Structure 1
């Protein structure tokens, strides 16, 4: 079990805090809006009305003991910056920040955070990637220029084993799981000697540019 501190309880912050708690983690949430705190309190370990950008407030609720911090302060970029600085001062190693614009993202990148979350942009990219890729079924961003994508098996790969395709050598990508849509069975770390079928989809990890090229293989 890990401990997380979530600063800001709009739709994004609320959803993240609730999901983390449902997965058995210790979650502390902070927001100035008492109504938002009342909404989330039943789901979390601790929910506090307070300024998440204030060092003393975070110290008082034992935020220093958190494994990671998630900042979601809406359009208030100043609050986002100050909250990040406060978490840095508390020596919290991993800090994730929801941003609302490219300028906001650039500022947070300069300050130094573990990752920047841009929900609207990421959702748009995911949709655009899915509807323009000939074999692409799903898309999950893992980092800058890197993702896991679910794709159908190209016709030229059918009946061949994962080992035979030499995907790591040829494309520098990795099949992390095979999903048999007929039985709805997912096999993680599949046997490289298994042969691919037309009822399979592949969860493939790699650089976006490479995966987009692979998705166009017929």
Structure 2
């Protein structure tokens, strides 16, 4: 079991806190809104009303012993910046910050945030990729410029094998799984000589530009 601190209990922060708790971890959360705290109080280990701008307040909810912290203070860049610094003063090494713009993200990264999360941008990119291509079923960015994509097998690939297609060499992408939508089977130990079928989708990992090139070529 890990210990997490969540600062800011809007929709995003509340969802993160509740999910971590459901996964069996200890979660302490802080928000300036008593109503937000009350909504989550019986679902996590500890929820308190207060501001995360000062290390002393964070320490009172046990932040010093946390494995990681998540900051979700909306568009208040000053609050997220000061909270990041306060958490660093307490020795928290892993700090994840929800940001609302690229500039916000750059500020947090310079202040030492482990990772920034931009849900609106990420959701928009996923939607755009899915509706721009009739083959893309799912798209998840793993790191800047590097993603996992589930793609339906193009008609001209049906009956051909992964060995024959040689996607790592041709497109610099790796097939990490195959999902058969008819049988429901999901395989990660792949037979490179098995022919692909019309009901297969490929789980691919690679650079975004390479995935786009593959989609257009397919």
Show CA shifts across 1:61-118 (max 9, x none).
Answer: 2212222111000121111001111122222222111111222122112222222111
C-alpha separation in 1, matches of 2:12 and 2:31: 13
Show CA shifts across 1:115-142 (max 9, x none).
Answer: 2111111111111111112421111111
Equivalent residue, structure 1, for 2:199? 199
Deviation at 1:189, TM superposition (A): 4.3
Aligned residue pair count: 218
Equivalent residue, structure 1, for 2:176? 176
The alignment's TM-score, normalised by the length of structure 2, stands at 0.92
For structure 2, the 5+ residue unaligned runs are: none
Please, which moves more after superposition, 76-85 or 177-186?
177-186
RMSD: 1.6
Q: Secondary structure at the match of 2:95?
A: strand
The alignment's TM-score, normalised by the length of structure 1, stands at 0.92
Q: Secondary structure at the match of 2:42?
A: helix
Equivalent residue, structure 2, for 1:150? 150
C-alpha separation in 1, matches of 2:51 and 2:137: 42
Deviation at 1:48, TM superposition (A): 1.5
Equivalent residue, structure 2, for 1:115? 115
C-alpha separation in 2, matches of 1:163 and 1:87: 50
Equivalent residue, structure 2, for 1:161? 161
Deviation at 1:34, TM superposition (A): 1.1
C-alpha separation in 2, matches of 1:214 and 1:136: 11
Deviation at 1:54, TM superposition (A): 1.5
Deviation at 1:22, TM superposition (A): 1.3
Show CA shifts across 1:33-66 (max 9, x none).
Answer: 1111110111111112122221112222221222
Quickly say closer, same or farther: Cα 1:151–1:69, change in 2 above 3 A: same
Equivalent residue, structure 1, for 2:99? 99
C-alpha separation in 2, matches of 1:114 and 1:138: 26
For structure 1, the 5+ residue unaligned runs are: none
Maintained 8 Å contact 2:139/2:147: yes
Please, which moves more after superposition, 157-166 or 100-109?
157-166
Please, which moves more after superposition, 59-68 or 40-49?
59-68
Quickly say closer, same or farther: Cα 1:64–1:191, change in 2 above 3 A: farther
Maintained 8 Å contact 1:151/1:203: yes
Q: Which runs of 4+ in 1 moved over 4 A?
A: none
